[in-house]
Structures are given as structure tokens and as C-alpha cells.
Chain A
Amino acid sequence: MASHGGRPNYVAVWAWLVALVILGLAVSFLPGARSMAVALIFATAVAKALLVALNYMHLRSESRLIYAIAIVPVLFVLGLTVALFPDFVFHR
């Protein structure tokens, strides 16, 4: 199922997603620096999310307005998380 009409190759994306799941699992079982492992695991999560969003949700080919509607809440969530750090991470 090659890509047609400018659409992504959905099966290829799926293969990458599976690979990233396996990678994340592998990293979580490796010994060694915990924080490195966590960073890598979340990197795979972000990569998977981007693959789904850009290819399955077609964000790659959508207008700037749709892209803005998609990205702004993500930034807000990140901002909220950071703002909660002083009260819950530094003080508990």
C-alpha cells in the first residue's frame, strides 16, 4: 500500500510506531542511569504522538489555523505543569 494522492504511507507509519514501542520497552528494562532512560522513553512517546498527529490526523497537510488549534493547548499544558512545580515538586 504505497502512498497515493499525497497521503502518507499509513502502514509504514504503523511500523515505526511499533518499533518505537519496542524501543521504549527495551530502554525501560536496561540497567543504568534512570533519568537517561526516562528521557529516552518520553522521547519515544513524543515521537509516536507526532507520527500519529502529523500522519494519521493529517496535520502535515492542514491549514495553519488547524495547526494552531492543535498546538496551543499542548503549550498550555506544558505551561501549567511548569507552574505547578514550585508548589508540588519543590515543596513536598
Chain B
Amino acid sequence: MATRAEAQAIPGILPGKVGVWWFLASEVMLFGGLIASYVVFRLGSAGWSTESAHLSVPIAAVNTLVLLTSSLTMVQAFAAVEGGDQPRLRMHLGLTILLGLTFLGIKAFEYTFEIRAGFTPGAGIFWSFYYTMTGLHALHVLAGIVVNTLLFVRAGRGTRNWHQVELAGLYWHLVDIVWIFLFPLLYLT
């Protein structure tokens, strides 16, 4: 029976980070469920490549670069916080928001173009997956933009919210990683 009291917190672990990582784990399962379903359906039937050929690889490639760059600006925002540089934080948060909006704008343009060409969600099982996966992803991008905007506003008021920037960044990077897989799954194969 020990009588010496020892501090039990795992060194360096802050609650916010643990919480966000658990949340990200559940998000991986969510997108993973969709992706797993897509992969097995696709491998099990023919004719999907002819459908996916109707997608625009150049547009999606641009979008991929947009999102990857937004990850850079997001982590630069975090670096600015670590350096105590408020203006640089605002600038990079602002850039991340703009890039996110660009992504959504391009996506909206893409959807309009595809639906006008007759490729609705009901047009076939490939399209069902395409719209669901990219649509759910786009909703997540939107949510990230909202969070980043809130942080942007708070940064303007001078509040020290460095930890929250890191947490929002973790979420944003996961959204980027999901797209890193959606791009080849839907467009390149």
C-alpha cells in the first residue's frame, strides 16, 4: 500500500489536445466507413472508370493544391502563435479561410457543371458515392472555415488563444488528409 502521493497527469498533455485527437479518431472512422464502402464496391464491379472519367481532374488537382496550401497557412498560423506574433497569426488565419472558401467555390462550380451535364447523385452508384463523399467532406471544410473565422475575430481582439489555434489546426489538417485520399480514389483511378 503506497502512501506517497505522485502527480498523475501525463507530462505535456493538455486536455484540449487529447479531446480533439479523440474527436479526430471518430472522424477517421466516419470517413473510413464511407471510403471502405466505396473501395469494396468499386473493386467489385466494372464500369466505374467510365463514370469517373467524366470528372475534371485538372479542377480537382487545383483544389488539392489549394487545400494543401491552406494546411501550410494553418500551421504557419500556429507557428505565429508560438512566436507570439499576433499580426502574422491573423494573416495566416485569414489566408487559410480564403483558401478554404476557394476550395468550396471551386467545388460548387464543379457540382454545377456536373449536374448540368446530367450527372446527378441518382445517375448511378459511382455518382452516389462521389456526391456523398465530397459533400460530407465539403461540410467539414465549411465547419473548419467557421471555426477559423471565429479564431480570426478573436485574434483581432488580442485574446491569447494559441492553444485553440493548434486544435483548430489539427482538425483542419485531418480534413486535408481526407481530401488527399478522396482525390485519387475518385479522380485518378
Contact = CB atoms under 8 A, between A and B. Distances in A.
Query: Do A and B touch each other in the complex, judged by CB within 8 A?
Result: yes
B44 A70 contact: no
B79 interface: yes
B33 A80 contact: yes
Interface in A28-47: 28, 38, 41-42, 44-45
A65 B10 contact: yes
A73 B183 contact: no
Contacts of B189: 28, 38, 41
A21 B75 contact: no
Interface string A51-88: 01101110000010110011011101100110011011
A28 B25 contact: no
Contacts of B61: 21, 25
B85 interface: no
A76 B13 CA distance: 25
Contacts of B170: 57
A35 to B, nearest CB: 10
B58 to A, nearest CB: 9
B169 A77 contact: no
A66 B33 contact: no
B72 A11 contact: yes
B104 to A, nearest CB: 19
B44 A10 contact: no
Residue picked from B45, B74, B177, most chain A C-beta under 10 Å: B177
A92 B48 CA distance: 14
Given A18-B65, A89-B44, A56 B169 contact: yes
B25 A69 contact: yes
Contacts of B26: 73
Given A41-B188, A56-B173, A81-B39, A70 B21 contact: yes
Interface of B: 10, 12-13, 17-18, 21-22, 24-26, 28-29, 32-33, 35-37, 39-41, 43-45, 57, 61, 64-65, 68-69, 71-72, 74-76, 79, 82, 169-170, 173-174, 176-177, 180-181, 183-184, 188-189
30 contacts: A10-B72, A13-B72, A21-B64, A21-B68, A28-B57, A41-B188, A41-B189, A42-B184, A44-B184, A45-B183, A53-B173, A56-B72, A56-B74, A63-B10, A63-B12, A65-B13, A66-B17, A66-B18, A72-B25, A73-B28, A74-B32, A76-B29, A76-B32, A77-B29, A77-B33, A85-B40, A88-B40, A88-B41, A88-B43, A90-B44
